[in-house]
Chain A
Amino acid sequence: MLLALLNLSLAAPNMSLHVQLDSQAIKHDELGLSPGSSRIASPGLRLGVELNPRVMLQADWHHARSGGRIYANDDDEYDAQGGPSLVYASDHFDLGARLEPLQWEVLQPYVTVQGSFTMGRMHLDADEDHDNELTELHSRAASFGGLAVGGAELALGNEDWVVQPSAYLEMGYALRTPQSFDGLGDLRSGGYLVRLGTGLRF
């Protein structure tokens, strides 16, 4: 593994690889996608490639998954229906440029502007014990948009090191088109976002 990273650092321009956690807003609390808030935490990966000392090409992917059983009204005759289980999953792909206007050594502030593509999937199942297409619904929806964030990355060691551990925290705003699930309706995501991650620069 270490040899592979060393080879990578010698063969390629400066790169970074991070594991990150993203918090995105889903604007439909009633779906029960996230307990107590309208946000879903989604893990992912970030790959950065230095184009010049102040600009980095940055690609992010993160995967969100949430859901649970949803109960209908307990107080009336429809109680017998119970409720379906619902799983929402999405993959977000962001690609853009990261600008580092200040060349600080340890704490590096930056701003990032990215285009965004999201593929969401929704699965509803009224009878989890049996496979029956009559009691299940599957739907997919795509979404496009963009985001802008500002943040700071803390790197340990110095630039002479072949591999530098680093961590970052960034906040920003995302605008995305709604995910239109056929027949089910539109799910809107976006708004303020927070990302944090840790990884390696080499």
Chain B
Amino acid sequence: MTLLLTLACTTGSAWTEPLWDPGLAEESGVLYARLPHAEALARLNAGGQSELVDLDGATPDRLVSSPDASSLLVFSSWLTCRDDDPKIETVEDCLYEDRETERELALVQDGQVTTTVDIAQHLDTLAFSPDGRVAVAYLGGELSEGSAGGLADVDSVTFIDLQTGEASSTPVGFAPGNILFTPDGASAVVLSRSTAVLVDMDTFQVKVTYDLTLDNDTEIDPSAAVLTPDGSYALVAVARLGLLYKLDLVDPSIDIEELAGAPSALVVDELNDVTVITYSNAAQIDLLYHSDFSRVELDVDEVNTGLVHHPDGFALAYREGGRDVYAVDLATEDVTEYVVANPVDSVQIDEAGRFGLAIMRPEYGNAGGGVDAYTDARWGMSVLEIGDDEARNVVFEQYPTGIELVAGETTTHALVLLEGERDALLVDLADPYPPVEIALEENPLAIGSLQSGMFWITQNSSLGLVTVLDPLDPDNASTLGGFAGLGLITDDELPRRGGE
């Protein structure tokens, strides 16, 4: 007699959400991952068992590490049902029109939620005070249909004391965006349409209001702003206008300076006490000295829309899509021009200040052949040696999914991830060929750095896979996998009842 029938059902099924998000965030040296399918947050304990963080049923929508990574802020949401019938236990039980999304910001420290803050649904971006004590939530993205949950107060920002969890909504003006903190952390400057306000960081109340125009029919939209290193002035560039507003924060007043064009970017150099200004419609770079607010104009060949600064006293100016990158020595006012092979996508400077790195995008339309056509058709990077005017071009065979700069004691490397390539490439910027191949378990998806100087690389595995490594010491690496299975078997129960 046959005692056992063999029966195996093979099937396929689709989830509406992926198991995990390859973009990780750090808290006190530990990485966290969002698990969209499980609607949960995983704490990835290196060398130990990963675990879920208890968010009281809320779904983590976005993770933001504080600047020193001592805490993790989690934008989270959960569904509630307006109908309080006790028979309604699951989301499916609740009529669609009775469903409501609630939102909060959870502060996670040492793997635990230490405090939660009710936050308006449309506030999606955080700025942190220099000491990390206060976070300011504001609308940094776009408002879309339904994104505000019915009501959007677009005139306010929310100050959050990260130690006590106390939150204060402060009206500051229409569409506030740019938030700057004075070096001592005592005040914040919040810019909005036609208005700037100075906010006391102890009371979160507006101390001073600066009207950027006296004509209510005129709209002044600040596009960029910086504070002078002593915190006594805010310099505000205005979109489309060739004007720079100088707000005196000590003795409240406004001076307006006419500029050569519409400023596109501002950066402050503390070492030389100067602000660097680039223009979107004028081929010059200005240096505005804070001591007497005198301005030096440096002529260049192209307009510039981007600025990257290094605290050793120099900046790189570039135009997205352009081929020129300018290094400005802020001590000597010398300008070095680099010409790169393909249009610039972005520029970064290594921590040690030895090299700039221009990431180049493909340039289509070259019908020729040879090296030019090969280079034009591909992404690449141009290595800019600071103090020299040579740009060394490196072509990527595939799209670069991630590039991080690694500054050692005497060398600088770029850690490069290429789409479809299993290995990460460690490129010595002083001598790019041949790169060192760092073997990974699977194809890399994303890369990021930790406060410790280590790097994490997430890899293509549906159950989650991340390697934490020191690229200059590849033996110092650990890999963790399987964490995306946490909470795999989800339930559909309403996480919180009304009023909870």
Expressed in whole angstroms, the Cα–Cα distance for A73 and B460 within the complex equals 15
Cβ contacts under 8 Å, A143 to chain B: none
| A28 nearest CB neighbor, chain B only | B489
Task: Verify if B151 is at the interface (C-beta below 8 Å from A).
Answer: no
Task: Select the residue from B7, B51, B460 with max chain A CB neighbours within 10 A.
Answer: B7
| A45 nearest CB neighbor, chain B only | B3
Cβ contacts under 8 Å, B2 to chain A: 19
Expressed in whole angstroms, the Cα–Cα distance for A98 and B49 within the complex equals 46
Task: Select the residue from A44, A183, A187 with max chain B CB neighbours within 10 A.
Answer: A183
Cβ contacts under 8 Å, B485 to chain A: 84, 124, 137, 183-184
User: B462 contacts A84, CB within 8 Å?
Assistant: yes
Q: Smallest distance from the beta carbon of B469 to chain A beta carbons, Å? A: 14
What 0/1 pattern do residues 438 to 454 of B give for CB contact below 8 A with A? 00011101000000000
* Residue in A1, A30, A126, A186 whose beta carbon sits within 8 Å of that of B1 in the complex: A1
Cβ contacts under 8 Å, A103 to chain B: none
Task: Verify if A115 is at the interface (C-beta below 8 Å from B).
Answer: no
Cβ contacts under 8 Å, B367 to chain A: none
Q: Smallest distance from the beta carbon of A197 to chain B beta carbons, Å? A: 11
Task: Verify if A173 is at the interface (C-beta below 8 Å from B).
Answer: no
Known interface pairs A65-B7, A67-B10, A81-B18; A184-B460 also in contact (CB < 8 Å): no
Expressed in whole angstroms, the Cα–Cα distance for A101 and B168 within the complex equals 74
Task: Verify if A41 is at the interface (C-beta below 8 Å from B).
Answer: yes
Cβ contacts under 8 Å, B7 to chain A: 41-43, 65
* Residue in A65, A69, A124, A127 whose beta carbon sits within 8 Å of that of B8 in the complex: A65
Known interface pairs A43-B5, A81-B462, A127-B461; A185-B490 also in contact (CB < 8 Å): yes
Expressed in whole angstroms, the Cα–Cα distance for A200 and B480 within the complex equals 53
Number of residues of chain B lying within 8 A (CB) of chain A: 48
Q: Which of A6-14, A32-40, A51-59, A154-162 contacts B (4 or more CB under 8 A)?
A: A32-40
Q: Smallest distance from the beta carbon of B187 to chain A beta carbons, Å? A: 40
User: A41 contacts B9, CB within 8 Å?
Assistant: yes
What 0/1 pattern do residues 53 to 89 of A give for CB contact below 8 A with B? 0000000000101111111111010101111100000
Cβ contacts under 8 Å, A63 to chain B: 4
Task: Verify if B11 is at the interface (C-beta below 8 Å from A).
Answer: yes
Cβ contacts under 8 Å, A19 to chain B: 1-5
* Residue in B5, B11, B441 whose beta carbon sits within 8 Å of that of A68 in the complex: B11
The total of interchain contacts (Cβ-Cβ below 8 angstroms) comes to: 153
User: A134 contacts B465, CB within 8 Å?
Assistant: yes
Task: Verify if A31 is at the interface (C-beta below 8 Å from B).
Answer: yes
Task: Verify if B86 is at the interface (C-beta below 8 Å from A).
Answer: no
What 0/1 pattern do residues 188 to 202 of A give for CB contact below 8 A with B? 000000000000100
Within 8 A of A (CB), among B300-351: none
Expressed in whole angstroms, the Cα–Cα distance for A34 and B488 within the complex equals 17
Cβ contacts under 8 Å, A144 to chain B: none
* Residue in A17, A43, A69, A183 whose beta carbon sits within 8 Å of that of B12 in the complex: A69
Cβ contacts under 8 Å, B294 to chain A: none
Within 8 A of A (CB), among B1-51: 1-22, 37-38, 49-51
Number of residues of chain A lying within 8 A (CB) of chain B: 51
Cβ contacts under 8 Å, B479 to chain A: 134
User: A72 contacts B37, CB within 8 Å?
Assistant: yes
Cβ contacts under 8 Å, B10 to chain A: 66-68
Task: Verify if A100 is at the interface (C-beta below 8 Å from B).
Answer: no
Q: Smallest distance from the beta carbon of B421 to chain A beta carbons, Å? A: 13
Known interface pairs A183-B485, A183-B486; A32-B3 also in contact (CB < 8 Å): no
Within 8 A of A (CB), among B446-500: 460-463, 465, 479-482, 485-491
Expressed in whole angstroms, the Cα–Cα distance for A126 and B467 within the complex equals 16
| B461 nearest CB neighbor, chain A only | A126
Expressed in whole angstroms, the Cα–Cα distance for A78 and B16 within the complex equals 11
User: B13 contacts A70, CB within 8 Å?
Assistant: yes
Cβ contacts under 8 Å, B20 to chain A: 81
User: B11 contacts A45, CB within 8 Å?
Assistant: no
Q: Smallest distance from the beta carbon of B224 to chain A beta carbons, Å? A: 30
* Residue in B6, B14, B443, B482 whose beta carbon sits within 8 Å of that of A71 in the complex: B14
Known interface pairs A21-B5, A185-B488, A186-B489; A80-B445 also in contact (CB < 8 Å): yes
Task: Verify if A136 is at the interface (C-beta below 8 Å from B).
Answer: yes
User: B18 contacts A34, CB within 8 Å?
Assistant: no
Q: Smallest distance from the beta carbon of B466 to chain A beta carbons, Å? A: 10
Task: Verify if A181 is at the interface (C-beta below 8 Å from B).
Answer: yes
Expressed in whole angstroms, the Cα–Cα distance for A40 and B13 within the complex equals 15
Q: Smallest distance from the beta carbon of B291 to chain A beta carbons, Å? A: 49
Q: Given A19-B1, A134-B461, A183-B485, 17 other A-B contacts at CB below 8 A?
A: A19-B3, A28-B489, A30-B490, A32-B11, A35-B11, A41-B7, A41-B9, A45-B4, A66-B8, A69-B12, A76-B18, A78-B21, A136-B482, A137-B482, A185-B487, A185-B490, A185-B491
The 3 closest A-B CB pairs, nearest first, are A32-B13, A185-B489, A134-B481
A-B contact pairs, 12 of them (CB 8 A): A30-B13, A35-B9, A71-B14, A74-B14, A80-B460, A81-B22, A81-B445, A132-B441, A132-B481, A134-B465, A135-B465, A185-B488
Q: Which residues of A contact B (CB under 8 A)?
A: 1, 17, 19, 21, 28, 30-35, 40-45, 63, 65-74, 76, 78, 80-84, 124, 126-127, 132-137, 181, 183-187, 200
